[in-house]
Amino acid sequence: MDSPARNATNGCEGAPEPIGSAPFDPVVNVAGIDEDAIADGPGLRFVLFVQGCARNCPGCHNPQTHAFGAGTDMHVSELFQRIVSNPLLTGVTFSGGDPMYQAAPLAELAERLRAHGGYDITVFTGDTFEGLLRRGTPDQLRLLKAADILIDGPFVQAQRDRLLRFRGSSNQRILDVRRSLSEMRPVWTIDPEWIEGDPVADPSRSRRTRP
């Protein structure tokens, strides 16, 4: 008589999977998704609006994203598949809410996207680059390291400027994360796709000097 078929992974028919063998697939609490946006960074982007922010900037445009846990839970694997299934995307933006409150699952997603390749990964936060370096959690630093661009700083109503590109107030900066980390100071991107024509960020057109 033939011997019974064996489980290909552990050789024991019917044996349970070893504990911890399931792929790590954390959950992001999501406020909304724009699968083909052109307003939150250059190119065609997948924008993930995450739920939750405790900063309460006066004049915030997305107050519905403040309550923690009030969004829809989505697995990182599902978000990853939705992004990579669109060959036209050039970038992914994490907005909110404040992505730094869900840094662990977002770092996981950003790292998977980096490993896949082909995306400019942008993270908005109401914190600052300097603040994250000083007091960021390991997960927040992991998310920062997985990003290409950090748009940092809270929205400040008194510094609101409709002419700015991709952000609401002139205190917010569009930082090149690789260079900022290598120099350990905030370094603006010089990528024209991000800054061309911006009254603060574009040195050739500035009506104000950069802070």
Binding site for ligand SF4 (CB under 6 A): 53, 55-57, 60, 62, 65, 96-98, 126, 154-155
CB of 196 vs ligand SF4, minimal distance in Å: 24
CB of 100 vs ligand SF4, minimal distance in Å: 9
131-157 as b/e, with b when 16 or more CB fall inside 10 Å? ebbeebeebbebbbebbbbbbbbbbee
**Residue with the shortest CB distance to ligand SF4:** 126
What whole-number distance in Å separates Cα of residue 116 and Cα of residue 38?
A: 22
CB of 177 vs ligand SF4, minimal distance in Å: 18
C-beta of 60 vs 174, nearer to ligand SF4: 60
C-beta of 55 vs 75, nearer to ligand SF4: 55
C-beta of 110 vs 151, nearer to ligand SF4: 151
C-beta of 127 vs 198, nearer to ligand SF4: 127
Q: Is residue 32 within 8 Å of 49, Cβ to Cβ?
A: yes
CB of 160 vs ligand SF4, minimal distance in Å: 11
